[in-house]
Amino acid sequence: MSVIEDAISKIEDWKGRNVSFEPLLGGLTNPNYKVNVDGIPFFVRVPGESTELLAVDRKNEYTNSKAAAEAGVGPKVLYYLPEFKVMVLEFIEGETMSKEALNAPGMPTRMAQAIKQLHGGPRFLTDFNMFRITEYYLKLCNERNIPIPDGYLDRMPTIEQIEEAMSDNPLPTVPCNNDLLAENYIDDGKSLRLIDYEYSGNNDPCFELGNTCQEMEFDETQIQEVCAAYFGSVSASKIARMKLNMVMSDVGWGLWAAIQEKISTIEYDFWGWAIERWGRAEEKMDSAEFSTWLLEVQS
């Protein structure tokens, strides 16, 4: 049997019932399924191949998914099969968001409100630090001869500058998703729900905010709207912190994409995504505003 069939057969509550499943498209890491049990839908996540190389810890994901559900933003975790590392989750009925949908008026505020709710929930099991993840990904690329974007290593001193600047006045860490792509938001008709806690961990809240702003390609007005909705006002230091984390989002997830190009069985242009993200990071590092962000984040 396939992993999904084997996992379904192990759930005692489903035995003797009418069970069917269908794959869900769009995941960049794992095979995901919609399972119907006597007409009731469930979401099932099956681990992708070699995802442990991407620094995915399934125990951390499981524990943090339960915490996110307790915070009221994540789906409920209904079953966990440790022998398969398979999670069965509440199927959230609603609209899976897109970049276009989240760029609509008022959406940056709704996003910030959902994020703040997650951040106010129970602490997560482990911490997440994009600087350390980047170091790990670079080491993996070196060991496995995985190509990385041209000029990447030449920029490491600049990345060290960013970490040093943001270390002067660090913000308290909070439980973060750390990977809020558009598709990881679902509008259930009342609020935005946040899904997929593979890379979750306690982190600087401005990484979460900057990362999701970068994913949506928000403009200055939208970035300020997110900042105001989350912090209650806009400040130069918070905006600078978000923008430096926008750089780090592309620095780290660009390497992730380069690794995925080598190991993933999912049909997707990961290398093209890596090059695109690295280009955005370089553009910001070369911008006239970059040195100002370094100064403002220290104030």
Q: Residue 188 sits in a domain of what CATH number? A: 3.90.1200.10
| Same domain for 144 and 170 | yes
Among 64, 93, 122, give the residue marking a domain's end. Answer: 93
The per-residue pLDDT for range 98-155, each reduced to its tens digit, is 999 999 999 999 999 999 999 999 999 999 999 999 999 999 999 999 999 999 999 9
Q: Which of 238, 246, 237 is nearest to 219 (CA)?
A: 246
Among 93, 123, 142, give the residue marking a domain's end. Answer: 93
| Same domain for 168 and 74 | no
Tokens 């990904």 -> residue: 137
pLDDT greater than 70 at residue 10: yes
Among 93, 127, 155, give the residue marking a domain's end. Answer: 93
Q: In this structure, what token pair is assigned to residue 141?
A: 């690329």
DSSP string, 109-122: HHHHHHHHHHHTSP
**pLDDT at residue 119, as a whole number:** 98
| Same domain for 65 and 127 | no
| Same domain for 247 and 292 | yes
| Same domain for 104 and 89 | no
* Mean pLDDT value across residues 177-188: 97
Q: Are 72 and 80 in contact (CB under 8 A)?
A: no
| Same domain for 114 and 78 | no
Query: What is the domain extent for residue 44?
Result: 3-93
Instruction: State the sign of the Cα–Cα–Cα–Cα dihedral 41, 42, 46, 51.
Output: positive
| Same domain for 131 and 60 | no
* Mean pLDDT value across residues 20-41: 89
Total of domains in the chain = 2
Angle at 136 between CA 132 and CA 139, to 5 degrees: 140
**pLDDT at residue 25, as a whole number:** 80
**pLDDT at residue 1, as a whole number:** 65
| Same domain for 119 and 259 | yes
| Same domain for 114 and 83 | no
| Same domain for 204 and 68 | no
CATH number (domain holding residue 79): 3.30.200.20
**pLDDT at residue 122, as a whole number:** 98
| Same domain for 274 and 149 | yes
| pLDDT: which is higher, 29 or 90 | 90
| Same domain for 202 and 149 | yes
The per-residue pLDDT for range 206-241, each reduced to its tens digit, is 999 999 999 999 999 999 999 999 999 999 999 999
DSSP string, 247-288: HHHHHHHHHHHHHHHHH--S-S-HHHHHHHHHHHHHHHHTST
**pLDDT at residue 169, as a whole number:** 92
